[in-house]
Structure 1
Amino acid sequence: MNLYASVLAVIVTTLLAVSLARLGKVKTKADYLVAGRSLPAFVLIFTLLSSWVGSGSLLGGAENAYKHGFAALWQAAGGWAGLLLIYFIAPRARKFAQFTIPDLLEARYNQQARVLGVIAILLTYTAITSYQLIGGGDILHLIFPQVITPILGRYILAAFVILFTAIAGMSSVAYMDLVIGLMATATMCLALPVLIHRAGGWQAVHTALPATHFEWFGDLSVIQCLELFLPTCLLLLGNQSMYQKFFSAKSEKDARRAVVGWIIGTVILETVIVAIAVTGSALFPSGEVSKAPREILAYCGMHGFSDASPVLRLLGALLMGAIFAKIVSTANNWLFSPATNLVNDIYVRYINPKASNKKILIVSRLMVVLLGIWALVQSLGTESVLKKALYAYTIYSAALTPVILAAFFWQRATAVAAVASIAVGTIVTVGWEWVAPHLPAAIGNRDAIFPALLASLTCLVVVSMMTPAPNREQLRALSEG
C-alpha cells in the first residue's frame, strides 16, 4: 500500500510543480485562455489525447468492456471516425483563432446562438467533469480503503482539480497533459502484455470468457452499438475543448500535425484500455470488482501485480497512478473550458468589456472554483458513469455539433435555424428522461441521441430553408478568420 501511496504522491507533486512552473508565463487573457497561442504540435498531441481519454474511457468504456467485451470499442470508434474529419477542420479552426466555440457561433450566426451555446456547454462540460471526480474518488478509496470513502475521495479530487486548473489556465493544463499523456500511454502499453501473461496467455483469456466478448457487436444490438458510436463521434466533432487547443496552436500546420498524432495515440490507447478490461474480466470474474466493474483498470493495477516481482509491483502502482493522473488531466480540461465561456462569452462580452487583464485573470480563477463546486455536487448524485457520459455527450452532440459543422461546411445555414437547433437539441436531451416513460417502449427505452439529433437537424435544415440566406459578412467572418 505504501508503494501505491508513494507513486500517487510523486504524481501529484509533479503535476503541481508543472502548474507552478507555468504560472509566471501567464500575464494576459490570451496567456490564460489559449496559452498565448504558442503550443507546438508535440504538446498539442498529448494535451488532446489526455483531454479526450478520461473517465468516459477509463471507467465507462472499461465497465462496458468488462461486461460485453470488445464491442465496447464502438464507443471509442465514434471518436476515431470524428478524428478523420477533424483533420480537415483543425487548420480552419486555428485560422479563425478566437477563444471559444460561442465566439464562432456569434461570428457565424448571432448573439442568441452564443448565449445558448454557453448554456449547452455548461451542462455538458460540468457533467463530464463530475464523473471524473467519481473515478478519482474510487481510486483514492482503493488505495486508502480505511481512510478515504469514495465520497470523500470526490471532495479531495475536486480540490486537486480546482487548484491545478486555476493556477495557470491553458498553459498549465497543456503541459500537465504532456507529462500525463506520456506516462499513461507508456504504462498501459507495458501493463497489457504482462496482465495477459499472468492470465495464462491470450488463449486462456479467450477460453475463460463468452465468445461474444470477441465479436464485432458482442451481445449488443446494432442500435445499442450506434448509441455508443454516435454521441462520441458527434461530441468529438464539436468539442470546444478540442477547438480551444487548436486556437492555442502556434500555427495551422501545428494544428494539423497534432491531429495525426492524436489519431494514432487515441486508437492505440483506447484499444489497450478495452483489452486490459477484457483481460481483467478473465482474471477477476467475481468478487468485489464484479459488483463495481467501472473500477476494473484500477483493480488490475492493484491486484493484478500484487504477488509479482518488485518491478512488476511497481508497474502495477504506475498503472494505478497513470489512471489517476489521466482522470485529473481530463477533469482539468473539461472544467477549464466552461470557465472560459463564462469569462469570455458572458463577463467580457456583456458585463465588463473593458476589464483589465488582471481582473480577467481573477474572474477566470473564480469561475474555475464555482464550476468545480457545481461539478462536485453533480458527482454526488451520479451512480452510472457510462449513463452520465452518454447523457453529457448527447447534449453536445444534438445541440452544438450540427451548427458547428454547418458553420464550416454549409453556407446556407441561417442564424434563426442555428438558434432553433441548439435550443431544441438541448431541451429534448434534458427532458428525455421525463418524456420517455410515457412513450411506447420501443422508443422510450432508447437513449436520447436519436430523437434529440433528429429534432436538432430537422430544425437546422427546415428553418434554414425557410429563412433568408446569411449575408456575406457573416460568411466572411469565419472563412477569413
Structure 2
Amino acid sequence: MNLYVSVLAVIVFTLLTVSLARLGKVKTKADYLVAGRSLPAFVLIFTLLSSWIGSGSLLGGAENAYNHGFVALWQAGGGWAGLLLIYFIAPRARKFAQFTIPDLLEARYNQTARVLGVIAILLTYTAITSYQFIGGGDILHLIFPDLVTPILGRYILAAFVIVFTMIAGMSSVAYMDLFIGLLATATMCLALPVLIHRAGGWPAVHAALPETHFQVLGDLSFIQCMELFLPTCLLLLGNQSMYQKFFSAKSEKDARTAVVGWIIGTVILETVIVAIAVTGSALFPTGEVSKAPREILAYCGMHGFGDASPALRLLGALLMGAIFAKIISTANNWLFSPATNLVNDIYVRYVNPKASNKKILIVSRLMVVLLGVWALFQSLGTESVLKKALYAYTIYSAALTPVILAAFFWRRATAAAAVASIAVGTVVTVSWEFVSPHLPAAIGHRDAIFPALVASLICLVAVSLTTTAPDSQQLKPFGVE
C-alpha cells in the first residue's frame, strides 16, 4: 500500500511543480487562454492525447470492454474516424486563431449562435468534468478503502483539478499533459503484456471469455454499435478543447503535425485500454470489481501485480498512478474550456469589454472554481459513467459539430440555420429522457443521438437553403470563399 501512496504523491507533486513553473509566463489573456500561441507540435501531441483519453475511455470504455469485449472499440473508433477529417481542419483552425468555438460561431454566423454555443458547451463540458471526478474518487477509494469513500474521493479530486487548472490556464494544462501523456502511454503499453502473461497467455484469456468478446459486433446490434460510434466521432470533430489547442499552436504546420502524432497515439492507447479491460475480465471474473466494472483498469493496477517481483509491483503502482493522472489531466481540459467561454464570450464580450489583463485573469480563475463546483454537484447524482458520457457527447454532437463543420466546409450555411440547428440539437438531447417513454418502443428505446442529430441537420440544411447566403467576406477566414 505504501508503494501506491508514494507513487501517487510523486505524481501529484510533479503536476503541481509543472503548473507553478508555468505561472510566471502567464501575464495576458492570450497567455492564459491559448498559452500565448506558442505550443510546439511535440507538446500539442500529448496535450491532445491527454485531453481526449480520460474517464470516458478509462472508465466508460473499460466497463464496456469488461462486459462485452472488443466491441467497446466502436466507441474509440468514432474518435479515430473523426481524427482523419481533423487532419484537414487543424491548419484552418490555426489560421482562424481566435480563443473559443463561440468566437468562431459569431464570426461565421452571428451573436445568437455565440450565446447558444456557450450554453451547449457549458452543459457538455461540465457533465464530462463531473465523471472525471467520479473516476478519480473511485481510484482514491481503492487506494485508501478505510479512509476515503468514493464520494469523499470526488471532493478531493475536484479540489486537485480546480487548483491545477486555475494556476496557469492553457500553459499549465498543456505542459501537465505532456508529462501525463508520456507516463500513461509507456505504463499501459508495458502493463498489457505482463497482465496477459499472468492470465496464462492470450489463448487462456480467449478461452475464459465468451466468443462474442472477440467479434466485431460482439453481443450488440449494429445500431447499438453506431450509438457508441457516432457521439464520439461527432464530439471529437467539434471539440472546443481541441480547437483551443490548435489556436495555441506555434504555426499551422505544428497543428497539422500534431494531428498525425495524435492519431497514432490514440489508436494505440485506446486499443491497449480495451485489451487491458478484456484481460482483466478474464483475470477477475467475479468479486468486487465485477460489481463495479468501470474500475477494472485501476483494479488491475492494484491487484494484478500484487504477488509479483518488486519491479512488477512498481509497474502496477505506476499503472494506477497513470490512470489517476490521466483523469486529472482530462478534467483539467474539460473544466478549463468552458471557463474560457464565460470569460471570453460573456464577460469580455458583453459585461466588461475594456477589462484589463489582470482583471481577466482574476475572473478566469474565479470561473474555474465556480464551474468546478457545478461539475462536482453533477457528479454526486451520477451512477453510470458510460451513460453520462454518451449524454454529454450527444449534446455537443447534435448541437455544435454540424454548424462547426459547416463553417469550414459549406459556404451556403447561414446564421439563421446555425441558430436553429444549435437550439434544436440541444433541446432534443436534454428533453429526450422525458419524451422517449411516451414514444413507440422502436424509437423511444434508442439513445438520443439519432433523433437529436437528424433534427439538427434538418434545421441546418432546410433553413440554410431558404435564407440569404453569407457574403464572401464572412467566409474568408474559414477558407470556404
> Is residue 269 of structure 1 aligned with residue 274 of structure 2?
no
Tell me the alpha carbon deviations over residues 258-277 of structure 1, each in whole angstroms, 9 at most, x when there is no partner. Answer: 00000000000000000000
Alignment of 1:395-434 (within 5 A): 395-434=395-434
Superposition deviation, residue 34 in structure 1: 0.2
Residue of structure 2 equivalent to 1:203:
203
For 2:136, the aligned partner's letter is G
Tell me the alpha carbon deviations over residues 228-262 of structure 1, each in whole angstroms, 9 at most, x when there is no partner. Answer: 00000000000000000000000000000000000
| SS, match of residue 217 in structure 1 | coil
Asked if the contact 1:95/1:480 (under 8 Å) is kept, the reply is no
User: Equivalents in 1 of 2:479, 2:111: separation in Å?
Assistant: 19
For 1:357, the aligned partner's letter is N
Residue of structure 1 equivalent to 2:188:
188
Residue of structure 2 equivalent to 1:436:
436
TM-score by length of 2: 0.99
TM-score by length of 1: 0.99
User: Equivalents in 1 of 2:323, 2:38: separation in Å?
Assistant: 28
Residue of structure 1 equivalent to 2:318:
318
User: Equivalents in 1 of 2:212, 2:159: separation in Å?
Assistant: 42
| SS, match of residue 243 in structure 2 | helix
Superposition deviation, residue 476 in structure 1: 2.0
Residue of structure 2 equivalent to 1:224:
224
Tell me the alpha carbon deviations over residues 99-132 of structure 1, each in whole angstroms, 9 at most, x when there is no partner. Answer: 0000000000000000000000000000000000
Tell me the alpha carbon deviations over residues 24-69 of structure 1, each in whole angstroms, 9 at most, x when there is no partner. Answer: 0000000000000000000000000000000000000000000000
> Is residue 99 of structure 1 aligned with residue 99 of structure 2?
yes
Residue of structure 2 equivalent to 1:365:
365
| SS, match of residue 152 in structure 1 | helix
Superposition deviation, residue 475 in structure 1: 1.0
Residue of structure 1 equivalent to 2:280:
280
Deviation >4 Å, runs of 4+: none
Alignment of 1:253-402 (within 5 A): 253-402=253-402
| SS, match of residue 447 in structure 1 | coil
| SS, match of residue 349 in structure 1 | helix
Residue of structure 2 equivalent to 1:6:
6
Residue of structure 1 equivalent to 2:178:
178
Residue of structure 2 equivalent to 1:80:
80
For 1:107, the aligned partner's letter is A
User: Equivalents in 2 of 1:62, 1:445: separation in Å?
Assistant: 24
Residue of structure 2 equivalent to 1:464:
464
Asked if the contact 1:37/1:249 (under 8 Å) is kept, the reply is yes
| SS, match of residue 276 in structure 2 | helix
| SS, match of residue 47 in structure 2 | helix
User: Equivalents in 2 of 1:236, 1:475: separation in Å?
Assistant: 23
Asked if the contact 2:29/2:361 (under 8 Å) is kept, the reply is yes
For 2:465, the aligned partner's letter is M
Tell me the alpha carbon deviations over residues 125-155 of structure 1, each in whole angstroms, 9 at most, x when there is no partner. Answer: 0000000000000000000000000000000
Count of matched residue pairs: 481
For 1:67, the aligned partner's letter is N
> Is residue 50 of structure 1 aligned with residue 50 of structure 2?
yes
In the alignment, structure 2 segments of 5+ residues that lack a partner are none
| SS, match of residue 69 in structure 2 | helix
User: Equivalents in 1 of 2:102, 2:474: separation in Å?
Assistant: 14
Superposition deviation, residue 479 in structure 1: 3.1
Asked if the contact 1:65/1:72 (under 8 Å) is kept, the reply is yes
Superposition deviation, residue 477 in structure 1: 3.7
User: Equivalents in 2 of 1:203, 1:155: separation in Å?
Assistant: 42
Identity %: 89
For 1:227, the aligned partner's letter is E
Tell me the alpha carbon deviations over residues 283-316 of structure 1, each in whole angstroms, 9 at most, x when there is no partner. Answer: 0000000000000000000000001111100000
Alignment of 1:143-182 (within 5 A): 143-182=143-182
Asked if the contact 2:395/2:426 (under 8 Å) is kept, the reply is yes
Superposition deviation, residue 471 in structure 1: 1.7
For 1:170, the aligned partner's letter is M
Superposition deviation, residue 480 in structure 1: 9.1
Tell me the alpha carbon deviations over residues 391-443 of structure 1, each in whole angstroms, 9 at most, x when there is no partner. Answer: 00000000000000000000000000000000000000000000000001111
Asked if the contact 1:105/1:117 (under 8 Å) is kept, the reply is yes
Residue of structure 2 equivalent to 1:118:
118
Asked if the contact 1:96/1:480 (under 8 Å) is kept, the reply is no
Asked if the contact 2:410/2:480 (under 8 Å) is kept, the reply is no
User: Equivalents in 1 of 2:479, 2:65: separation in Å?
Assistant: 42
User: Equivalents in 2 of 1:340, 1:10: separation in Å?
Assistant: 30
Residue of structure 2 equivalent to 1:38:
38
In the alignment, structure 1 segments of 5+ residues that lack a partner are none
User: Equivalents in 1 of 2:310, 2:478: separation in Å?
Assistant: 56
| SS, match of residue 25 in structure 1 | coil
For 2:478, the aligned partner's letter is L
Residue of structure 1 equivalent to 2:448:
448
User: Equivalents in 2 of 1:440, 1:202: separation in Å?
Assistant: 44
